[in-house]
């Protein structure tokens, strides 16, 4: 496979996954806040700030009040914001275009439909009326695309590259979301560590990651800080956990690099090392300095992405 095309497919995977997380984060936070138990969690400004934090577009300290419509427009249809859903979908399609000969007709057609849906969507309606409908459509469409990737492509290196993109993006987004909600939980319960442990934000966090029902089935009680972090970071059976995604990333990189005695600087080796370290990490080790841990994890994942670029896409 051409290095340039591999790079494009990798990013197609990342952009598809990214638009989903942006959409769901917005949806979950906005609607959870409507009847949240705490005053602060219910505040619209609090939610808007959380969304801005998650997209990495935090306003200056001096900005006292965020405009709801503007914030929603930015994350969905603003073509000048590189994190907007429309830009992600456009970039995903553009990347697919350059590899059209390699991906299935079914996958391309689904992505193309998605693109036309998003580009023709009336943004005024979204910011005023159809927040729910649109964000749900985006998450559903991403699921359809993943199933087309899974079901209509030969499971060879092309597939592996796309899945690497998807899973690396998923880990990245998961950790960012954990980071954002951890930040929210800290704000709402800043003076009371016990209250923070039981904050409502953990429920929201699980919902943001589409994990609330799974967590319920496993733990049968209201989520708290440790159970949530453990479930999202370490549980290998949770398809939305960091552990599970790293397992997949490791599987896919082995398809690209089948050498069982890999160089210790190779992408495969570095991924394998991170995966194994996480497998034998206990939640109590994370609890000591959660923020530090999350930050470190984010950095490691971004290093892996750079390493992949160097090793496979450098043309």
Catalog residues that contact another protein under the rule CB under 8 A: 1-6, 94, 97-98, 100-102, 105, 108-109, 112-113, 116, 157, 161, 256, 312-313, 315
Residue 73 or 137: the one with the smaller Cβ distance to another protein is: 137
Positive or negative, the Cα torsion across 162, 165, 166, 168? positive
Q: How far is the CB of 95 from another protein (least distance, A)?
A: 10
Residue 33 or 267: the one with the smaller Cβ distance to another protein is: 267
Q: How far is the CB of 303 from another protein (least distance, A)?
A: 19
Q: How far is the CB of 278 from another protein (least distance, A)?
A: 26
Please name the residue that has the structure tokens 């429309």: 86
Q: How far is the CB of 91 from another protein (least distance, A)?
A: 13
The Cα-based distances of 93 to 12, 26, 99, 157, 289 in angstroms read: 7, 23, 10, 20, 40
Residue 164 or 286: the one with the smaller Cβ distance to another protein is: 164
Gyration radius (Cα) of the chain, Å: 20
Residue 45 or 119: the one with the smaller Cβ distance to another protein is: 119
Residue 189 or 311: the one with the smaller Cβ distance to another protein is: 311
DSSP 138-194: HHHHHHHHHHHHHHHS-TTHHHHHHHHHHHHHHHHHHHHHHHHHHHHHHHHTTT-HH
**Cβ pair 15, 92 in contact under 8 A:** yes
List, in order, residues 6 or more apart from 186 with CB less than 8 Å away: 196
Q: How far is the CB of 66 from another protein (least distance, A)?
A: 34
């Amino acid at each position: 496979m051409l290095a340039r095309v591999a790079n494009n497919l990798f990013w197609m995977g990342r952009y598809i996954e990214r638009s989903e997380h942006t959409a769901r984060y917005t949806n979950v936070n906005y609607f959870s806040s409507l009847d949240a138990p705490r005053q602060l969690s219910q505040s619209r400004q609090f939610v808007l700030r959380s969304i801005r934090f998650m997209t990495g577009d935090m306003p200056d300290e001096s900005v006292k009040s965020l405009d709801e419509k503007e914030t929603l427009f930015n994350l969905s249809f603003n073509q000048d914001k590189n994190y907007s859903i429309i830009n992600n979908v456009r970039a995903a399609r553009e990347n697919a275009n350059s590899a059209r000969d390699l991906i299935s007709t079914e996958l391309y057609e689904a992505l193309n439909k998605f693109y036309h849906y998003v580009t023709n969507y009336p943004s005024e309606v979204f910011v005023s009326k159809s927040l729910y409908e649109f964000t749900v459509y985006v998450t559903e469409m991403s699921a359809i695309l993943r199933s087309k990737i899974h079901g209509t492509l030969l499971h060879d290196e092309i597939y592996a590259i796309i899945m690497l993109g998807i899973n690396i993006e998923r880990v990245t987004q998961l950790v960012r979301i954990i980071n954002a909600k951890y930040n929210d939980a800290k704000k709402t319960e800043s003076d009371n560590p016990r209250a923070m442990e039981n904050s409502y934000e953990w429920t929201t966090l699980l919902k943001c990651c589409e994990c609330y029902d799974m967590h319920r089935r496993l733990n049968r009680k209201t989520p708290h800080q440790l159970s949530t972090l453990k479930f999202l970071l370490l549980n290998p059976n949770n398809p939305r956990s960091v552990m599970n995604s790293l397992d997949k990333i490791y599987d896919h990189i082995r398809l690209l690099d089948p050498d069982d005695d890999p160089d210790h600087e190779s992408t495969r080796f570095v991924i394998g090392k991170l995966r194994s370290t996480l497998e034998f990490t206990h939640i109590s080790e994370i609890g000591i300095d959660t923020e530090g841990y999350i930050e470190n994890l984010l950095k490691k994942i971004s290093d892996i992405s750079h390493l992949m670029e160097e090793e496979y896409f450098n043309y």
